[in-house]
Amino acid sequence: MSQIDLWFGEQYGRENGRYLNIKLDNVLEKIVSPFQEIYVVNSPAFGKVLINDGVVMLTEADEAGYHEMIAHVPLCSHPEPREVLVIGGGDGGTVRELLKHPQVKRVDICEIDGMVIEICRKHFPNLANSFSHEKVHIYLEDGAKFLTTRKGQYDVIIVDSTDPIGPGATLFTEQFYRSISSSLKEDGIAVSQMESIFWHTEFIQNTFLYLKKIFPITTYYYTMVPTYPSGMIGFSFCSKKYHPIEDFIVERAEEIPDLRYYHSELHRAAFQLPSFAKNIF
């Protein structure tokens, strides 16, 4: 990896030339875990950047667009989100946002790679300090295996995963989402990272074919993150009972402190898709 410039984006999309080239002024740390190669670099444009296996996970400049939307949309759609599970999320940003909801009594985080947590504690304390909260319980396990022993336990499950390659591939299967359904309470909600409608249309469409078999309410929403592929990323919203618009708790959304991206009007707008994407779901 060069200290002058870095091509980043979808590592597996290299042949399509879909990269944003940014200048770096320093490589702060590199480690190789049993699961992946992890870099922390500094960019004059984006601040510190976390890169796993050549794919950007987050930047200080635009992480709020991702973390606030993956956390607050489900927690403002469920009336009593007391017990929450995060699968992945080793940077701590999603947990940070969940803790802004006083209704939440317990947050379990299941992250397969403990080195991600440690490197983020060191370089991204604004995110990873959330792991030290008394409500947070960390499990260094495979998410799919973890779910097999948590039947009917959670109000909300958030899958804050990498792309469906490498260690993240098992988090995008029909069997995995059936395990999520089993681990949710009878009115539970699950939200998962679900790629870009611009670049991953076929993948998203195929995934929703089985999501619709498992959950009575399924839909897709998106957020803007300039350093992610195509400048946006989406989420699957899967629910056993509550609808993200019809059951949206506006008052709760308007009470969340310290927001950079999410707000009540954006909550609704995020589910409005462009014409080409409406037929995907």
Residue type at 108 in one-letter notation:
D
Out of 160, 163, 247, 258, which one is annotated catalytic? 160
62 is catalytic: no
Element holding 154 (H helix, E strand): strand 154-160
DSSP 201-233: HHHHHHHHHHHHHH-SEEEEEEEE-TTSGGGEE
Residue type at 67 in one-letter notation:
H
CB-based contacts of 171, cutoff 8 Å, min separation 6: 87, 88, 143, 144, 159, 161, 164, 192
Burial of 134 from C-beta contacts in 10 A (0-12 / 13-18 / 19+): exposed
State the Cα–Cα distance between residues 127 and 144, nearest whole angstrom: 24
Nearest to 143 by CA among 115, 118, 108, 117: 108
Give Cα separations from 62 to 4, 224, 260, 279 (angstroms).
Answer: 21, 9, 9, 29
* Residues catalogued as catalytic: 160
